[in-house]
Every structure is written in structure tokens, then in C-alpha cells.
Amino acid sequence: MYLWFPSDRPRERPTEQVRSDGPAVLIGAGHGYYYHHGYKDWRPQREIYNGILEDEITTQYATMLYGKLLPHNISAGWIREARFAGHQPSGQPYHMVAARYQIADKLPERPDIWHSLPDSSDSLRERDEDIRSRPLYANEVGAGALVHIHTNASDNPSARGTRVFHHMASAESSRLGSMILCYMRESIHSLDQYKDFPIDSASTPGNHGENRLAAMPSVIVEVGFHTNAEDAAALKDIFFMGHSMAGVAKGYRLFEAGEKCLPLKIDAPVRAEGMVDDNVVIPVSAQGFPDFPLAIQASRKNCARRCAVDYELADNPDEMAEIKLAYRCDEARVELIELTARDFSGVEAEPIEVSITCHPKPEP
């Protein structure tokens, strides 16, 4: 876990501000190269584990998150920009250096933001200033919310899963963190290979500098443990990356809209019946906040081919209230039907089953 707290940081959290003309959400890719005054060289803030350098992979996740926010007309900004120009004097690609140096380029007249520990002689002082510069910059530009993207680390290689941290004094940050976890769970668990990926149920309070110094809702999203081989494999998977960041984006959107955690779910009667040659109507209702259109399908359970029975689309919340699917009774029997739902972004509801009994027609 990310636990750097220099003793001379302010202990009070700023009063949360009302956003002015800043971005709705500011995205911070964790870490980046910094100058170490002890070794007198430039180095990443994290070591490579399981083929992952956190300082680098967080920029990829931040770019993905940015792309998931734009289609919803959400103004988003960067703390570490994804530019591929060179940075001097580090000799690193620009996107690989810590936020402290990028902010210094943007606001050279504001060393109080990027050089906020001028009296420190600690060899790690520029690393510590990097942590502080992120929320201080967000305060300066009037961001509405701040989302820091990290991968996690532990001395215990079996530690794994997604966690989110907020400052203990901020109820709104706690709500934002838990909404992000809710919709990361919905999105990640829609992928068959990640249905059991561990994701915390609620945001964890803490005193991390990135959150404590922020004057707006601010959370640290630890997407997975790069020190765990299974998590590391997921972190490098483009599908996991896309679904995890789609969940972060959706969690933020619904937090901003004042909604609650309501993952996609479908309901239907557990039994239905009809006569041979009749169409049995299966009324299905859905809840949640899908990206429309929402596709609802009925299929024969344990079927080898031609399994689909019926298919409907819901294009708005009103149509989710009752979707009517039909099953044609072609012979007298009992058949198990599986109902599934999938939205435009690939989020899937937990399948449910309906037992349909087809009775023989009475003899004339």
C-alpha cells in the first residue's frame, strides 16, 4: 500500500470547494521518475514486479479512463500528461516523469505547488513533493473530483484484488470510492475469466497525502497487486484494463448524478406454462444503469445448437420495466430457459433461469 507521509505535511484537510471552471474530474497516473538526491540520479518510484513497472502502467490505465469519460461529455484533465516528447534533464519520455516536473513546466511561477518542501534536505524530497503536488494542482485548477490510478504492492505475494482509499474526514470521497468499487465490480465481473476477481465492497479510510491535501472528493484506486502473479497477469490484459476503467468512469458518473450502487440485474417469474403450439410470454424486468441499448435474450439451457429462443432490446429506462420474451411450446415437456442481459459496454447481469411447462392440448 502507498504509505508516504513526510512529517512536515499539513495534517488538516482543506475544506472541500465548489468546482469553478476546472475539469469535472482530474486523473492522476501514479508515481513516475523523480530525482533522488542521495544517489543523484533519476529513478522510478516503484520496482518492476511480474513484468510491471507501476510508474509506467498507470499512464496506460489513466489514458483508458480518459477515453471512457469522453463519450459521456465529461470534461477530464491530466496530472501526468501522455506526451511522448523527451524530458530534460531526466532523459526519460515526458509521460514517464512524475507529476511534480510536469506541473513545474505548466506553472513555473507556482513553486508552492511543485516545490512545496523547500526547506527539506531529505534525499527523497522530490518524490514527496510529487505526492503533494497532485492535490495542490487539482486545488489550483478547481477540479471537481480527483482520481489517482495506482497498482498495489505487498510483501505478501498472495495479497490481491482491487481496493480504493479515501481520506477519513471526507464523506463525499468515501461515497465516490464506494461507487467506483461498485461499478468496477459490475464491469470486471462481466468478463468470464475475471468473475471471481476480488474487489473490496467499500472504500477504505486513510490519511494518504494525495487525498488529504485535496479540496474536492479524492480517491486512490489500487486496481490490483503487481506483486501478485495472478493480478499482474490481469493488469497486463487489455480487456481487464478496459473493463476496470469503464467501471471507474461509471462510478464517477453516477456519483456525480447522486445515484446509489445499483448493478445491472434482471428478474422474471421462476415458472411459466402454456399449451402446445402456444407462445408462452416471459415478462422480464431489469434494474440498474446500463449503457443502452440493453439486450435481453432467452436461450435453452444445456443446449448444443440453435439455443436462442427470443431476443429484445431496451433503449431507455422506461423500456426496462417490462420486456416481453416469448417461448413457443412445440411439444409437451418441461424446459429450462436461461435469461441473460448485456448492455452496449459489455456489462452483463447475472443469468437467471425460468422453468417452462408445455402442456399437451386437450383432446377435442
Walking along the chain (364 residues) 10 residues at a time, the average pLDDT comes out as 36 57 94 98 98 98 97 95 88 96 97 98 98 98 98 98 98 98 98 98 97 98 98 98 98 98 98 96 97 97 90 96 95 96 97 97 84
Same domain, 177 and 271: no
Same domain, 220 and 326: no
Residue 18 placed within a domain: no
pTM, two decimals, is 0.93
Question: Final residue of a domain: which of 256, 291, 322?
Answer: 256
Amino acid identity, residue 229? A
Same domain, 158 and 247: yes
Rounded CA-CA distance 314/294 in Å is 5
Can you give the CATH number for the domain in which 46 is found? Answer: 3.40.630.40
Residue 11 placed within a domain: no
Joined together, the cell numbers standing for residue 46 give 516503484
Q: Identify the pLDDT of residue 363.
A: 82
Same domain, 312 and 216: no
Same domain, 196 and 278: no
Q: Comparing C-alpha atoms, which of 356, 154, 348 is closest to residue 272?
A: 356
Same domain, 161 and 77: yes
Same domain, 232 and 318: no
Same domain, 219 and 102: yes
What residue numbers bound the domain in which 269 lies?
Answer: 265-359
With 0-12 CB in 10 A as exposed, 13-18 as middle and 19+ as buried, what is 230? middle
Q: Identify the pLDDT of residue 364.
A: 77
E-strand stretches of 214-268:
218-225, 265-267
Joined together, the cell numbers standing for residue 54 give 507501476
Same domain, 247 and 167: yes
Can you give the CATH number for the domain in which 319 is found? Answer: 2.60.40.2470
Same domain, 59 and 132: yes
Question: Final residue of a domain: which of 237, 256, 275?
Answer: 256
Residue 150 placed within a domain: yes
Question: Final residue of a domain: which of 256, 275, 294?
Answer: 256
Residue 350 placed within a domain: yes
Rounded CA-CA distance 115/262 in Å is 43
Same domain, 192 and 281: no
On whether the CB atoms of residues 252 and 146 are closer than 8 A, the answer is no
Residue 4 placed within a domain: no
Residue 294 placed within a domain: yes
Q: Identify the pLDDT of residue 4.
A: 35
Q: Which residues contact 40 (CB under 8 A, 6 or more apart)?
A: none
Partners of 341 in beta bridges? 296
Same domain, 309 and 185: no
Residue 10 placed within a domain: no
Q: What is the DSSP string of 347-362?
A: -BPPPEEEEEEEEPPP
E-strand stretches of the chain:
25-29, 34-36, 41-43, 76-78, 146-152, 163-167, 204-206, 218-225, 265-267, 271-275, 279-287, 294-300, 308-314, 323-328, 333-342, 352-359
**Three-class SS state of 135:** helix
How many domains does the chain contain in total? Answer: 2
Residue 84 placed within a domain: yes
